[in-house]
A and B are shown apart, each in its own frame.
Chain A
Amino acid sequence: MLASPGDDPILDRDVRLAVYRKIVEKGRPPTPPEMAVGLGIETLDVEASIQRLADGHVLVLAPGTPYIWMANPFSAIPTPFEVEVGDRLYFGNCIWDALGISACLHADAHIRTYCPDCSEPLSLDVRDGELEATSEGVVHFAVPAAHWWDDIGST
């Protein structure tokens, strides 16, 4: 059953699923008008739903817009965390999210990034649900969990 305006929890679920479906299929999130057509509702109702999801820290919007910046673990913009899954290329918001893309798709992945200090390329590989044992490097979390959403762009 699809949602109708005024049915916020179901509408928000459908909008969230539409966002992820598009990202998984196309590597980018849908725009509000695209979702409105797909869900058979008004663009304004989609935008209101997106804002509720952003307020609830389910999505992150590009500042001052109704456009999706992050549907974690996916980034709508290119980042230094490239995730190859089959013939698809996705971008994570950070190295945790890059691994999260493999985790949420339950798929093998080749992740490319680089050391922020020396710019040397680094990669991680997930095969059959396991991170390959040869994985090198150290993951740095700058911000404690309690403050992740203080400034999610820099977290």
Chain B
Amino acid sequence: MLLFRSEEHVTRWTEKRRAPIGATFTPQQVWQLATAWYGDRLSPNWRRRTPEEARIVFEGIGLTGPFWEPA
């Protein structure tokens, strides 16, 4: 997950490298994801989320669809 100046830079970079187009998000969306995903990481009781728990986290911040379907 990389931070680019703009969509135009993402497009140019992926085309040059024939890299997957993937999906783009705003830094605010990724900050929301970071707090939801990592906020409890240092807790003694932390454990890895199940796919269903991961889906709930993603849905809670509006990240839905095939791209966000956990393994």
Residues of the B chain whose Cβ atoms lie less than 8 Å from the Cβ of A139: 1-4, 24-27, 29-30
Instruction: Give Cα A147 to B66, complex, Å.
Output: 12
B residues bordering A, Cβ < 8 Å? 1-7, 9-10, 12-14, 19-31, 33-35, 37-42, 44, 46, 48, 54, 58, 66-71
Residues of the A chain whose Cβ atoms lie less than 8 Å from the Cβ of B39: 103-104, 106
User: Does A120 have its Cβ within 8 Å of any Cβ on chain B?
Assistant: yes
**What 6 additional pairs, Cβ within 8 angstroms, besides A100-B37, A106-B39, A138-B5?**
A17-B44, A104-B40, A116-B4, A117-B10, A131-B27, A138-B24
Shortest C-beta distance, A59 to chain B (Å), equals 11
Once A and B bind, how many residue pairs between them come within 8 Å at the CB atom? Answer: 157
Binds B, one of A28-36, A41-49, A60-68, A91-99: A91-99
Instruction: Give Cα A117 to B2, complex, Å.
Output: 10
Contact: A140 with B27, CB < 8 Å?
no
Instruction: Give Cα A136 to B3, complex, Å.
Output: 9
Contact: A117 with B12, CB < 8 Å?
yes
Instruction: Give Cα A17 to B28, complex, Å.
Output: 29
Instruction: Give Cα A24 to B31, complex, Å.
Output: 20
Instruction: Give Cα A103 to B42, complex, Å.
Output: 10
